[in-house]
Amino acid sequence: MRGDSHYSRDHQLGAAMGAWAASRDSPIQTELDGPLDGDELQHIWMLTISGDHLEAVVTLFRGARAEVTVVWFSAKEDGVYTGRGTGLTPGRLTEMLEGIAVMERGGAAPAWLRPVAES
């Protein structure tokens, strides 16, 4: 029943992502796409976050994995940041999303996000 366990966790994570997105207000706007059918290499949920100071995409994959890209238009730390999480719980995913919201409000990037090196 391992597949059922992954499905249940994926559903819980999608619900947490949807609840977080629904609770946002201006200036943060969200667009949630999912659930989608697919294998482990294809995303099942995608959350786009737009604000005055950033654009972010949070992509959730089967097996409680997420990849995050943030383009931050901060006066101090402009740039592209990436991060990922594995073995996620709904609480941890919500913490990650809140970290993005803190960036929009002018706070620092969370430790799990790293700047992409310029070439």
pLDDT in tens, 93-102: 999 999 999 9
Average pLDDT, the chain: 87
Average pLDDT over residues 54-61: 95
Number of domains in the chain: 1
CA dist., res. 48 & res. 39, Å (int): 21
- 98 is in which domain, residue-wise? 2-115
pLDDT, one tens digit per residue, over 23-37 is 988 789 999 998 887
Contact 68, 113 (CB under 8 A): yes
103 has a pLDDT exceeding 70: yes
Contact 31, 20 (CB under 8 A): no
pLDDT of 1: 37
Q: State the pTM of this model.
A: 0.87
3 has a pLDDT exceeding 60: no
Contact 115, 70 (CB under 8 A): no
pLDDT of 6: 56
111 has a pLDDT exceeding 50: yes
